[in-house]
Amino acid sequence: MSTQSVLFDAPGPKARARNVLYTVGTLILFAIGLAILYLGFNRTLTERETGLFDPATWAVNPTGQWTADKWEPFLRPATWTDYVIPGLQNTLTAALTAAVLAIAFGLVFGIGRMSDHWWIRIPSGAIVEFFRGIPLLMLIFFTMALPIVAYQVFDIPTGTFQVTALVAVVAGLTLYNGSVLAEVFRAGVLAVPKGQSEAAQAVGMTKSQNMWLILIPQAITSMMPAIVAQLVVLLKDSALGYIVAFPELLRSFTLVATRESNVIPAAIICAIIYIVINLSLSRFAIWLERRNSRRGRPSAKPTAAGGAPVTVKTEPEPGPGAQAAPGEGAGKDDGPKDRRD
């Protein structure tokens, strides 16, 4: 019996016909959606004077978004060196800095939530739940408003210190994603078999040594795909820096679109860049998951001390008419017998 027949029944003629019908219907709806987008951005969907199936309706409109003049700015090196590449660098700088800090934040407070001391466990849980429940945009705005808060509460002059847009974005991303990662790390530690902790205690390791040397390395290894997936979310959330005038990738494309009046081409290219980066991280997470799933499989045959492979001898089981070898049954008498000289 094949695996496919075990998992589900093979579809019959009617089910296969329905599947074909659903597939064709989905493709038709997808093609209609693409046609509407094309005609809408081409400014011929509502402003056309010809029929829908007239070739003139589908021709590129010089005033639409698909004309070559709208895409030409992205063929200039100055557009990439002055806008796109600096914006991408700022995005990656904010994302990488926040990722490192969020992992550290998650480790500290995730372990704190499992502490035996209530004065560590309760505040750690409150901090994690607080920052996880606040929208990320509010955290960014609140960080930017720290000079005003310091003046209102502590009467500190507003010019004493300033919070840059980069610091606000990194702080918001760190607090929010670090709170999520704290739960990820906690779940990973709790998923480690209890026998690992018991074995560590049996050899005399303290709880701190058990946590940092035994549990955390295994938790990070097992939860690495979830960690990378959260880092993908962190990278996408860095686009919220646009609200506080942080010159990240989305803001750079917005400036290009405003100057060249090509909103749709700029949005498409910006989305492609984000998709490529996030897909790369996602593929990395899938690779890690597959690599971890292969752990524990034997990679080599056992060898003797000299390097020669060990040969395991197996003897066939005796048949029903076979006799035991001499001396095989010695010492297996059911009871004492009288021995006469």
- pLDDT, tens digit, 9 for 90 and up, residues 274-296: 999 988 888 887 787 777 666 65
Amino acid code (one letter) for 36? I
Handedness of CA 113, 149, 135, 87 (dihedral sign): negative
pLDDT of residue 37: 86
Give bridge partners of residue 303 from the DSSP assignment.
309
Number of H helices, E strands in the chain: 16, 0
Rounded to the nearest integer, the mean pLDDT of the chain is 81
In angstroms, the CA 208 to CA 215 distance is: 10
Of 201, 220, 223, 219, the closest CA to residue 210 belongs to 201
Pick the more confident residue, 24 or 222. 24
pLDDT of residue 26: 95
pLDDT of residue 325: 47
pLDDT above 60 for 341: no
pLDDT of residue 22: 94
45-49, 59-63, 232-236, 279-283: the lowest-pLDDT one: 45-49
Return the percentage of the chain with pLDDT > 70, whole number: 82
pLDDT of residue 39: 85
pLDDT above 70 for 112: yes
- pLDDT, tens digit, 9 for 90 and up, residues 184-234: 999 999 888 888 888 888 888 888 888 888 888 888 877 888 888 898 899
Of 90, 185, 174, 186, the closest CA to residue 134 belongs to 174
pLDDT of residue 226: 86
In angstroms, the CA 252 to CA 237 distance is: 16
